[in-house]
């Protein structure tokens, strides 16, 4: 299963991600704050938005330095900066164009020394708070956890949000996937709406559908 792990300083992908995008050496990453998603597609080295994500032997790089990119995502998701977050990727393909979509509202929360963490190391399920509004004391154990709001309720995001996100991705064309990216500098990134504004706008959008 393709997976992406994001921390406050960088992002790493597993080998399955590299295979899904046909062993591409360079990629572009895009963040959509309304859909709570990171999109990844193959790119050319010459692109101003490109990141190298594969070693010479074909293995995925251990970590891609993305401090500015991660900072914007953490700020808008209101994530606690001492934790890292892992997500599964979904491949979308149109013609000869492919992308990987990682939905940021269904995380595995990685706590502590993340280089030693493996999901199989934990025999019980842990639920913890993970946003700046909810974390009162950081968890220090090396564990993989899930959002505390899932405990005793449901796993994952509600079906309405998932269906609307899927509808957007389904309607993408091959030209959409190949559309040239636009670099965003710090002054533009600072104009992104905060989380409360995004939730309000998303609720208004859902009411009109």
Q: How confident is the model at residue 203, as a pLDDT?
A: 62
Tell me, yes or no, if the pTM score tops 0.85. Answer: no
Residue, of 172 and 119, whose pLDDT is higher: 172
Cα–Cα dist 130/153, whole Å: 17
Confidence of residue 25 (pLDDT cuts 50, 70, 90): very high
What's the mean pLDDT in 182-205? 56
| SS3 state of residue 187 | helix
Contact 150/127 with Cβ under 8 angstroms?
yes
Q: How confident is the model at residue 87, as a pLDDT?
A: 95
Confidence of residue 168 (pLDDT cuts 50, 70, 90): confident
Q: How confident is the model at residue 143, as a pLDDT?
A: 84
């Amino acid at each position: 299963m393709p997976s992406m792990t994001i921390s406050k300083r960088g992002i790493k992908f597993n080998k399955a991600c590299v295979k899904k995008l046909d062993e591409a050496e360079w990629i572009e990453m895009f963040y959509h704050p309304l859909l709570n998603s990171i999109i990844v597609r193959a790119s050319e080295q010459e692109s101003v938005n490109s990141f190298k994500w594969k070693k010479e032997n074909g293995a995925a790089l251990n970590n891609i330095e993305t401090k500015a990119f991660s900072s914007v995502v953490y700020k808008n998701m209101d994530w606690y900066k001492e934790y890292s977050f892992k997500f599964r990727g979904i491949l979308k393909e149109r013609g000869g164009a492919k992308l990987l979509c990682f939905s940021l509202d269904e995380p595995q929360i990685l706590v502590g020394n993340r280089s030693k963490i493996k999901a199989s190391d934990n025999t019980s399920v842990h639920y913890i708070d993970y946003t700046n509004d909810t974390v009162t004391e950081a968890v220090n154990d090396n564990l993989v956890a899930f959002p505390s709001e899932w405990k005793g309720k449901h796993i994952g995001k509600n079906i309405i949000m998932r269906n609307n996100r899927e509808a957007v991705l389904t309607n993408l064309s091959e030209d959409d996937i190949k559309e040239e990216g636009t670099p965003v500098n710090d002054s533009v990134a600072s104009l992104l709406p905060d989380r409360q504004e995004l939730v309000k706008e998303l609720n208004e959008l859902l009411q009109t559908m």
